[in-house]
Amino acid sequence: MRRQALAALLTVGMAAAACTPAPTASESVGGACAPELPERTSPTDYPVAVLHVRGDDLPPVIGEIEWLGGDEPVATTAPLAVNLERFTVLQVPDASEFSLRMTDDVSIAEWRVDALPAARFRAGDFESATELSSGDEATELICVPVEGGEWAIRATVTFADQGGSGTFYWRLNVGATPGA
């Protein structure tokens, strides 16, 4: 009886998944490249960028922020050189794009997203970056193509409504787990 109930539950789940449309790649910069994403709020008094890939959100290591959109202006920088900060490294076995969005319903007016090879980034080389995406049209979500490899992702964002700007970093490994 239990096996029949479990089999029926699995069959219903697979049928529901088959009816759900899969996310598709973005057709334009800033288009929706992920299913509806839950609202995000920042634990700080300024907004932060969140990287979203394959169902996982990854908060950033913050480089610099100048936030003018709140009650009080805020400016902050990383206490250490960013490459020396502790990073959560998101491992994704396969991905062709990720998205970035701001917390607290803050819109993006302008952006540039770069990828730096992880080994060079850890060594402090910020100059060997490859531009993945840039734009200057207001958007809520930035869709960014990515290739396999071990990357430090850097996003330089100008907030809409003269809200200031920020630089954010993430570590993302696309493909095989390093050392495997």
Task: Kindly state the greatest CA–CA separation across the chain.
Answer: 63
Low-confidence spans in the chain with pLDDT less than 70: 1-32, 34-35, 176-180
- Per the CB < 8 A criterion, the answer to whether 26 and 52 are in contact is no
pLDDT of 34 reads 55
Residue with tokens 């071990």: 150
Residue 61's beta-bridge partner residues?
169
Q: Which helix (H) or strand (E) holds 12?
A: helix 2-19
SS3 assignment, position 37: coil
Show the tokens assigned to 46: 């300024």
Q: How open is the CA angle 52-54-58, to the nearest 5 degrees?
A: 35
The topology (CATH level 3) of 28-174 is Coagulation Factor XIII; Chain A, domain 1 (2.70.50)
pLDDT of 57 reads 87
pLDDT of 177 reads 61
pLDDT of 3 reads 43
Overall pTM > 0.85:
no
